[in-house]
């Protein structure tokens, strides 16, 4: 059964009580008969096992995000070749 935290709006008395899910919430303070309010706390959640990570449902080969297109590889230009050195004539 869960534990609920209550605080009195009038006198500030705070306490915890174990209640069933089917029990109705408390409405009057046990000390001053003032109005109670239920306090809510953050809940620590721990996910264990597979299926809770972003990468668990992805293909083992890589990410589903496509990479930006890369620049085309540099190709040799069709510039004319330098003239061959002249042979020495004697």
At 13-57, the pLDDT tens digits run 999 999 998 998 899 999 999 999 999 877 777 777 766 666 655
Q: Give the DSSP letter of residue 58.
A: S
Count of CB atoms situated within 10 Å of the CB of 6 = 19
Contacts of 32 (CB under 8 A, 6+ apart): 8, 10, 11, 13
Rounded to two decimals, the pTM is 0.45
End-to-end CA distance of the chain: 111
């Amino acid at each position: 059964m869960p534990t609920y935290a209550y605080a009195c709006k009038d006198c500030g008395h705070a306490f915890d009580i174990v209640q069933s899910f089917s029990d109705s919430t408390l409405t009057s303070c046990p000390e001053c008969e003032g109005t109670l309010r239920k306090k809510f706390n953050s809940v620590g959640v721990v996910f264990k096992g597979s299926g809770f990570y972003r990468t668990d449902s992805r293909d083992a080969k890589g990410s589903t995000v496509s990479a930006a297109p890369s620049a085309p590889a540099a190709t040799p230009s069709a510039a004319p070749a330098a003239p061959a050195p002249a042979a020495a004539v004697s």
